[in-house]
């Protein structure tokens, strides 16, 4: 097991509190959980890519970062309309 795989395991465990926040709190805190999940998943994909050594998978991490940002904006906008 190399260092990048160990970092991937640690990042995967860091997703558990984000999942708890997204499921069981208020809508404002869910937005924070969604944004933090997007950030952690992006870093997780980068760590897995470096662990495997196949660098074209970095495109997946870049696309996820853009989609997570857009998804957070969409959630905030829809939350604004319904309040």
Indicate if the pLDDT at residue 7 is higher than 90: yes
Global pTM value: 0.87
The token pair at 34 is 């969604």
Helix (H) or strand (E) holding 25: none
Helix/strand/coil for 14: helix
Q: Around Cβ 79, how many Cβ atoms within 10 Å? A: 13
Would you state the pLDDT for residue 83?
A: 66
Would you state the pLDDT for residue 67?
A: 93
Give the residue-averaged pLDDT of 37-55.
93
Would you state the pLDDT for residue 57?
A: 87
Would you state the pLDDT for residue 1?
A: 74
Indicate if the pLDDT at residue 49 is higher than 80: yes
């Amino acid at each position: 097991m190399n260092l990048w795989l160990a970092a991937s395991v640690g990042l995967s465990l860091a997703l558990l509190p984000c999942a708890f926040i997204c499921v069981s709190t208020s809508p404002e805190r869910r937005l924070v959980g969604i944004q933090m999940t997007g950030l952690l998943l992006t870093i997780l994909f980068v760590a897995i890519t470096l662990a495997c050594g196949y660098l074209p998978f970095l495109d997946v991490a870049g696309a996820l970062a853009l989609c997570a940002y857009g998804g957070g904006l969409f959630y905030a906008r829809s939350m604004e309309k319904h309040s």
